[in-house]
Structure 1
Amino acid sequence: MDVGHDRRHSSASPQGGRIGSTRWPARAQRLLESSYTLCVEGLQEPLRRCLGEFEKQLFALAERAHHSGEQQDCFASRQRVLQGRSAFAQQFMERLGSALNEIDSATTGPATAATDVKPWQSLELVDPGEQEVSMTLEQLGARGEVRHSNVLHELGHRLAVLVGAPPLEGQALPLGPHVLAQTCRAASAELELPLKHQLLLLQHFDQWVIQALAPLYDTINARLQGDGILPQLRSIPVPRHIGKRPRPAASGSEPASESAPATGSTATTQGAGSGTSGSIEVLESLRDLLARQRAGQSGGGQPIGRAASEPELQSALGALQQHLAQVTDQASRELRSAARLREELLAQLNSGKPSDAPRTQLSDEQGDTVELVVRLFEQLGQQLQHGGNASNLLSDLQLPVLRMAVADHGFFEKREHPARRLLDTVTAAANDWLDGSDDESNRPLATKLEQLVNRASQEPPSAGLYTTLLADIEHHLALLTRKAQAAERRHVEAAQGRERLDQARHRASELMAERFMQSPPRGLLRTLLDRAWSDVLALTLLRHGEDSEPFRAQLAITDQLLGRLPVDDRLQLQVEVESGLQQIGMHAEEAVQVAQRLLGAGKPDPGVELPSATDLALRLKQHQRLGKQQSSHEPAASQSPTTAVAPTTATASAPAPAPAAAAVDPRARRIEQHLRELPFGSWFEFIDPGTGQIARRKLAWYSPMSGRCLLVSRRGQRGEEMTLAQLAQEVANGHVCEVPAQAEGLLDRAWRSLTGSLRQPAEPHRSTPPEAARR
């Protein structure tokens, strides 16, 4: 039986050798199979999240691409990932099973082979791309070993005892970070990703898989330990000398305070490791910063009383939540200041006690936790757009998140903590997708966010609850994103089609104008060539190209109609004219009447009188031009080449006069040049001069030739369609402003701002925030 075979996941069976009674004892075989089963179960969700985030990152890169080729590469890689994610997971599990199946050869094969090859006999040219991937794999493995050093030490010794080998480490440990990174690289080969996307996938694998291996390693170690494999083995972690928060006035507190800012900054911007030994005491560092800030303040000491226990504080927070749910909606949707929240908690803690009874107070750690969470929410609120729904949702999440932070200090330690991720996702979704209006398109998402926040407020805080809520909202946002992407692609393709149509009409008008100068037509023929046959030329040019045989045939028909070429068969010419007119949407009967009146080759049916030439000319002028129903610039596009002698007057781009007017302003010209260098996906804010409302629009596409650009909303719906010159003029006038790209999310920026505010010296008014003073 194969080591990698899992009865519940038959598709993940390895392709390595088989384990029989002659190779492994029954106990070793059973434990190896059990370890692989745990890997299959424990790695499925991290792999799914890794590929999901990688796919989102590819779409984001496509939005910010400077060139269409780069954008197409991102879309192509994204499509391969979407189509091959199941095959990738299967290949990953199979190769992981093979590595585990060959656990004994990992300790002997490389070493023996290395002694047989001399260094000067193995020199070869190395592909730079392969070298970069190899270096990245080494870095991922090294960081993973440092991050999970303790559990890997135990796992390597236990697996070595199981197979009778020296302690396994590095490349020899089949479940170690080195092997997992190489397995990811091998499994992704079938995706055929370009080099930069391969490296991006490895980065996501490090973030979502390798960093999350600690629970899996603990589970495998516990399984082996429970079966009697080195039950007394314990790794010795490096002790950390971070104790109680020192008092600001103590002389010995200065060294700890000096080291706190660096630790806090690193932790808040990069997050803590997933392993226990690798975590950073972020809460203690933030408390040290808070203590240093308070050191310069003058005031009374801490009130005397018994410190509340954690159950008491949780009960007070729960009672406060219930109370807020019963009061008015306006009061429940406020971000509470630290002072106000502390007063409300103390009132709940001492509710029902006699006046002479000892008062229950918040401990130093509890008070600091309350203030840090409040300050985090204040910083997060400053990152939001004004007039949106995000501020209301943020205030509703304040108490649930505070309850979670009090119950689990991992909220401060771990960047990927479910409560932190839910807070970031909900606020970002409300800030980006909702515009504060009661529009029908906003209601489904607004209702979903309200339901999630209400559930977080009503149920006891737990990591499982926030994980469930996070998965729910991420699924909903994924559906919205896919719909927005599809709608945006449709509008971009339509804009590109209109651009190609305008170019084709412009070229057809130029060719027609050249012929009109040499052989000017009159009457019905002039109207036909002006209003209909130029569209036939444009459509043929758009479909087949200028050098194609069909387009040369249509030009020959034009020359025959103008008398520039002899007509051998008038009946055949009439049939071709009828066919061309029907291609641009003219009714068959009307096309036959125009061709017969113009050429007179066919006899009309008995009793049927053809309309007059004047009547037919009027119908042609009223006929809808090609592409007019899609383009708002038809008046300029429909100009006849006979309106001027120069062919350039037949341009189909209506906004052409606008850039000339805007180019007079040197500042607008500089802005336009800057806009031409922006990548697709750049955001702009349009400010309504009358109401002051702000609407965000994304630059989805622009034409380097005509300068026409397409701006869409977050949901992919077409907004303003203008030229880059017009957009530059709006920016110069102050009606539009560019939104700079943010490398960090809302919560990351809030953490950074919180750390920066804690490093600032204390001010007298900081003890009473302005928001609290207003209330």
Structure 2
Amino acid sequence: MDVGQDRRDLPASHQAARLNSGRWSARAQRLLEASYKLCVDGLHEPLRRCLGDFEQQLFALAERARQHAQQQDLYSSRQRVLQDRTRFEQRFIEQVGEAFNALEGDATRHAPAGSTGSTGTKTWKSLELLDPVEQELTMAVEQLGARGEVRHSSVLYELGYRMAVLIGSPPLEGAKLPLGPHALTQAFQRASAELTLPLAHQLLLLQSFDQWLIQPIAPLFDSINAQLQGDGILPQLRSIPIPRHLSKRERPAKTPAAAAAAAEPAHAASSGGGAGGSIEVLESLRDLLAQQRANQAGPAGQSAGHVASSDELQTALGALQQHLAQVTGQASRELRSAQRLRDELLTQLNVGKPQGAPHTQLTGEQGDTVELVAMLFEQLGQQLQQGGNAHNLLGDLQLPVLRMAVADKGFFEKREHPARKLLDTVTAAANDWLDGSDDESNRPLANKLEQLVARASQEPPSAGLYTTLLADIEHHLALLTRKAQAAERRHVEAAQGRERLDQARHRAGELMAERFTQSPPRGLLRALLDRAWSDVLALTLLRHGEDSEAFGKQLAITDQLLGRLPVGDRQQLQQNVEYGLQQIGMHAEEAEQVAQRLLGTEKPDSAVELPSATDLAMRLKQHQRLGEHQSTHPIQPSQPVQPGQPAAQQSARHEPATVHPAQAPEPSPRERRIEQHLGKLPFGSWFEFVDPATGQIARRKLAWHSPMSGRCLLVSRRGQRGEEMTLAQLAHEIATGRVCEVPEQRESMLDRAWRSLTGSLRQSAGAGRSDPQEPNRR
């Protein structure tokens, strides 16, 4: 994204912020145009970031899409946004200008509903069914505008009064305020209508608009207010915000259910994203903590002493962070409990104090923040796979995230907070991509994550730092995802090619068997037709189809060799046989020898003696079949699956002609039901393979399966081919407990951790209320 774009490259609508003249007084015209220009300049860069974020989200969703049609829809929407991006920005700015120009008709819009015109008759509209898509979009736009009004209510109050003074109307609010969240959201929706995006993509675009334009728009409102105030428009006007009682201990305590209900919306995935949840999330969680302490051990008394200020706490956290960065031991990277963090912080706060001096203590809010962050990391650690590298990275991030949570309460209240998104991204990347081994393919990502965490530990916490780190790791993960998708596509295409080859070989075998029943060959001819020439038929069938002229010609050659059709030109027949054998990889000299010995066309005066028919027949039997070097032998159901090892390395490598696989046992009714379920799963479903010897878990994705043969392909996160088996064998492994299906997780790891944290607090807080006299039971 070009943040420093040259002003000369801006569209015309961005450069000339002019409104229709002659509607207001000269002063009002000048101030409205100045406000509109500030709006145009202030919204240009956030709008570009919004569209860029939307494109990245579409690309990421397309890479993770399970259905081909869904992936194509996402790519198509992204392409439309890329092509119409400049025109989209122009339409949006024009729509904002139309909202300014419509201010003159404000008095007429205040007419009572149902008022009659000059004729004194009412105008009735015809009834029609409500479009569900339009209704969904209308509701989303209204909700987004309402959240923006609440978020910026104070500054919008002043702006609505000052702009109303300019045009001589009642105070402007809601959609009547041309720069308000309602008007901007409606302008954005009208501008995006020409993109003709699907409903889900339009809602996603509105989420990006909320994140990049509506949420951070307060400085733009402040600058417009300052300009109007400086020009003498209500210079003494001040909004009077309703005081918010931060000390909730003075109010009646909430019930655990009410406190949890207030805490959960900010952590749950909502359609609006961003900070659309409760503005008292931290206080609600503190209520639950207080209830938990009261039920477990009563209120903890705090010894008298000096309480730490925010700067002192940040200094202590920084010192503790530097100390741990210098210690190179496993203990320095492990997750710390709330009590351990509190003790280490108190030690740092009181370092160097003279003996007998009062100790510095944490405030109630600081102590609760430390405990909540420690509990959050504990919930995250419980979701990580065993043996992975994510535990170390999570331990390294604990103090930097705690510093950010102490400095910015938005960490608890904003789902899109940069520190939360970085924590979620790093944890998910380490958990999904790194398997705990020292494999060469893991080192670039492991090094990148280590560098990112090290930088977060060394630099002071800020939203800008975490935004930069998040963009860096997301770019790296996008590259890895594209490489994995490319590798997976190659394996899927290879598996599909082998499937088509097997089908073609099967059909060629059927046609050859029909001819053998009528004209059974012997000796060299039998070896040629049974091994090499059947591959020639299969290759021709695969390339041209059964009804093609080329395949008909190969069948005619087969009939000539079997004596079913007369041979007109033996030299031409020899050339056709040689060409066909060369097509399946046989050397030209060997193909010529086989054709000459078979048709008896060798030259009497040739100095080179041809091999015998028996020798050539043995060579044909030992010749590698078409596609044989790519084939893998599926493991037998009786053999345990070794996660992480390709099936080709787990099975014996023998010639297909001599392999006699063990007869698979009759599947049980449960295995049949599992196989039917597997056949309905979409591509992209995940499974966990458990090594019975070590207990190590490896995840594999179902990349492809054939509805005809039942063969399926499983790949790793990096797109590397793993186990290749049939659906029946996979069903057997699931039935025996060596493989289990991983249910689709619609929530991120951090969202699940928040939900678990809130649930555990609610359960602990409500335990004492449900039965306070009940003794502890095991």
**Paired amino acid for 1:40:** H
Contact 1:376 1:751 in 2 (8 A): yes
Instruction: Choose the corresponding residue for 1:679, options 682, 685, 695.
Output: 682
Matches within 5 A, 1:89-100: 89-100=85-96
Matches within 5 A, 1:692-731: 692-731=695-734
Aligned to 1:393: 393
Would the alpha carbon gap of residues 478 and 710 (structure 1) be closer, same or farther in structure 2, given more than 3 Å must change?
Answer: same
CA RMSD of aligned residues (A): 3.6
Distance 1:415 1:486 in 2: 32
Would the alpha carbon gap of residues 606 and 655 (structure 1) be closer, same or farther in structure 2, given more than 3 Å must change?
Answer: closer
Aligned to 2:71: 75
Would the alpha carbon gap of residues 218 and 300 (structure 1) be closer, same or farther in structure 2, given more than 3 Å must change?
Answer: closer
Contact 2:428 2:749 in 1 (8 A): yes
Aligned to 2:750: 747
Query: 1:615 deviation in Å?
Result: 2.9
Query: Do residues 43 (structure 1) and 42 (structure 2) align?
Result: no
Distance 2:543 2:382 in 1: 53
Contact 2:269 2:747 in 1 (8 A): no
**Secondary structure of the structure 2 residue equivalent to 1:607:** coil
User: Number of residue pairs matched?
Assistant: 720
**Paired amino acid for 1:422:** L
Distance 2:9 2:287 in 1: 50
Aligned to 2:284: 285
Matches within 5 A, 1:461-540: 461-540=461-540
Aligned to 2:545: 545
Distance 2:288 2:257 in 1: 9
**Secondary structure of the structure 1 residue equivalent to 2:722:** strand
Query: Do residues 87 (structure 1) and 90 (structure 2) align?
Result: no
**Paired amino acid for 1:179:** A
Contact 1:388 1:430 in 2 (8 A): yes
**Paired amino acid for 1:54:** L
Aligned to 2:56: 52
Matches within 5 A, 1:637-656: none
Query: Do residues 738 (structure 1) and 741 (structure 2) align?
Result: yes
Query: 1:549 deviation in Å?
Result: 2.3
**Paired amino acid for 2:424:** D
Aligned to 1:761: 764
**Paired amino acid for 2:203:** Q
Aligned to 2:199: 199
Deviates more, 1:327-336 or 1:258-267: 258-267
Aligned to 2:187: 179
**Paired amino acid for 2:761:** L
**Secondary structure of the structure 2 residue equivalent to 1:387:** coil
**Paired amino acid for 1:178:** Q
Matches within 5 A, 1:335-354: 335-354=335-354
Would the alpha carbon gap of residues 470 and 543 (structure 1) be closer, same or farther in structure 2, given more than 3 Å must change?
Answer: same
Would the alpha carbon gap of residues 170 and 578 (structure 1) be closer, same or farther in structure 2, given more than 3 Å must change?
Answer: farther
**Secondary structure of the structure 2 residue equivalent to 1:311:** helix
Aligned to 1:554: 554
Give CA deviations for 1:673-704 in whole Å, capped at 9, x if unaligned: 22222221111111112222111111111111
Query: 1:570 deviation in Å?
Result: 2.8
Aligned to 1:454: 454
Contact 2:634 2:724 in 1 (8 A): no
Query: 1:376 deviation in Å?
Result: 0.8
Distance 1:577 1:276 in 2: 74
Give CA deviations for 1:68-113 in whole Å, capped at 9, x if unaligned: xxx221232243345444324223202112223434555689999x
**Paired amino acid for 1:262:** A
Distance 1:21 1:703 in 2: 68
Query: 1:161 deviation in Å?
Result: 6.9
Distance 1:390 1:340 in 2: 21
Contact 2:43 2:213 in 1 (8 A): no
Give CA deviations for 1:749-770 in whole Å, capped at 9, x if unaligned: 11001101111236999xxxxx
**Secondary structure of the structure 2 residue equivalent to 1:102:** helix
**Secondary structure of the structure 2 residue equivalent to 1:742:** coil
Would the alpha carbon gap of residues 271 and 561 (structure 1) be closer, same or farther in structure 2, given more than 3 Å must change?
Answer: closer
Contact 1:335 1:394 in 2 (8 A): yes
**Secondary structure of the structure 2 residue equivalent to 1:507:** helix
Would the alpha carbon gap of residues 121 and 381 (structure 1) be closer, same or farther in structure 2, given more than 3 Å must change?
Answer: closer
Matches within 5 A, 1:150-299: 150=153, 167=172, 169-170=174-175, 173=178, 176-186=184-194, 188-189=195-196, 198-228=198-228, 230=233, 232=235, 239=242, 242-246=245-249, 253-255=252-254, 259-270=258-269, 280-296=279-295, 297-298=297-298
**Paired amino acid for 1:56:** A
Contact 1:668 1:732 in 2 (8 A): yes
Query: 1:164 deviation in Å?
Result: 8.3
Distance 2:756 2:186 in 1: 36
**Paired amino acid for 2:385:** Q
Contact 2:308 2:360 in 1 (8 A): yes
> Structure 1: any 5+ residue segments left out of the alignment?
64-70, 637-651, 766-775
Would the alpha carbon gap of residues 216 and 233 (structure 1) be closer, same or farther in structure 2, given more than 3 Å must change?
Answer: farther
**Secondary structure of the structure 1 residue equivalent to 2:228:** coil
Deviates more, 1:40-49 or 1:359-368: 40-49
Contact 1:152 1:176 in 2 (8 A): no
**Secondary structure of the structure 1 residue equivalent to 2:7:** coil
Distance 2:682 2:55 in 1: 25
**Secondary structure of the structure 2 residue equivalent to 1:566:** coil
Would the alpha carbon gap of residues 324 and 121 (structure 1) be closer, same or farther in structure 2, given more than 3 Å must change?
Answer: closer
Aligned to 2:384: 384
Give CA deviations for 1:557-594 in whole Å, capped at 9, x if unaligned: 21121112223333332222222222212222322332
**Secondary structure of the structure 2 residue equivalent to 1:698:** strand
Query: 1:359 deviation in Å?
Result: 1.2
Would the alpha carbon gap of residues 315 and 462 (structure 1) be closer, same or farther in structure 2, given more than 3 Å must change?
Answer: same
Contact 1:15 1:95 in 2 (8 A): no
Contact 2:700 2:717 in 1 (8 A): yes
**Secondary structure of the structure 2 residue equivalent to 1:246:** helix
**Paired amino acid for 2:186:** H
**Secondary structure of the structure 2 residue equivalent to 1:719:** strand
Matches within 5 A, 1:62-141: 62-63=65-66, 71-81=67-77, 83-103=79-99, 106=102, 131-141=131-141
Aligned to 1:648: none
Distance 1:17 1:132 in 2: 37
Would the alpha carbon gap of residues 162 and 6 (structure 1) be closer, same or farther in structure 2, given more than 3 Å must change?
Answer: farther
**Paired amino acid for 2:673:** R
Aligned to 1:768: none
Aligned to 1:301: 301
TM-score of the aligned structures, taking structure 2 as reference length: 0.84
Query: 1:396 deviation in Å?
Result: 0.9
Query: 1:158 deviation in Å?
Result: 6.3
Aligned to 1:578: 578
**Secondary structure of the structure 1 residue equivalent to 2:687:** strand
Give CA deviations for 1:462-516 in whole Å, capped at 9, x if unaligned: 1111111111111111111111111111111111111111111111111111111
**Paired amino acid for 2:700:** R
**Secondary structure of the structure 1 residue equivalent to 2:268:** helix
**Secondary structure of the structure 1 residue equivalent to 2:689:** strand
Give CA deviations for 1:694-743 in whole Å, capped at 9, x if unaligned: 11111111111111110101101001111111111111222112212111
**Secondary structure of the structure 1 residue equivalent to 2:546:** coil
Matches within 5 A, 1:141-152: 141-149=141-149, 150=153
TM-score of the aligned structures, taking structure 1 as reference length: 0.85
Distance 1:93 1:479 in 2: 29
Contact 1:147 1:273 in 2 (8 A): no
Would the alpha carbon gap of residues 546 and 107 (structure 1) be closer, same or farther in structure 2, given more than 3 Å must change?
Answer: farther
**Secondary structure of the structure 1 residue equivalent to 2:248:** coil
Query: Do residues 443 (structure 1) and 443 (structure 2) align?
Result: yes
Percent identity of paired positions between Structure 1 and Structure 2:
61
Distance 2:274 2:584 in 1: 68
Distance 2:16 2:577 in 1: 70
